[in-house]
Amino acid sequence: MKIYSNGPDAVSDLHKMGFTNDFILSGNDLFWVQGKIFVRIEDFAILEYYKIRDANNIKNGFTAFGILAPYQGVKGILLNHCYRNRAKPVKAKKLKDMWAHISHNLAPLN
């Protein structure tokens, strides 16, 4: 996990890796903004995650997640605020087996 001092740098690095769509957390599911559909928890994986520290308040910050939704064929970003006093916002799912199975079937995502 990389730690950034500002959000634009984290988002820029994710964009360079092909995470160009937007996701919003809705319960345990994600809403894919561009596709206007919900992606169930079992249908996405977290490939990257970066912590962004709030320069004004060390207890506050947010996490930028690089999300893969293989059945929709998209990679995108989920931003989630987190606070030091709260539990971690989302548990990252392990992707070793899933990624090996689907990576050869994905077309390049732009």
In the chain, domain spans = 2-105
Residues of the chain with pLDDT under 70: 55-59, 82-110
**What pTM value is reported for the model?**
0.70
Mean pLDDT of the chain: 78
Q: Tell me the pairing of strands 2-4 and 45-53.
A: parallel
Q: Which residues touch 56 (CB under 8 Å, ≥6 apart)?
A: none
Exposed, middle or buried by CB within 10 Å (0-12, 13-18, 19+), for 109?
middle
The rounded distance, in Å, linking the Cα atoms of 77 and 28 is 16
Q: Put the strands of the sheet holding 2-4 in their side by side order.
A: 2-4, 45-53, 60-69, 74-83, 21-26, 29-32, 37-39
The rounded distance, in Å, linking the Cα atoms of 90 and 15 is 21
Residue 90: the pLDDT is 44
- 69: tokens are 């939704």
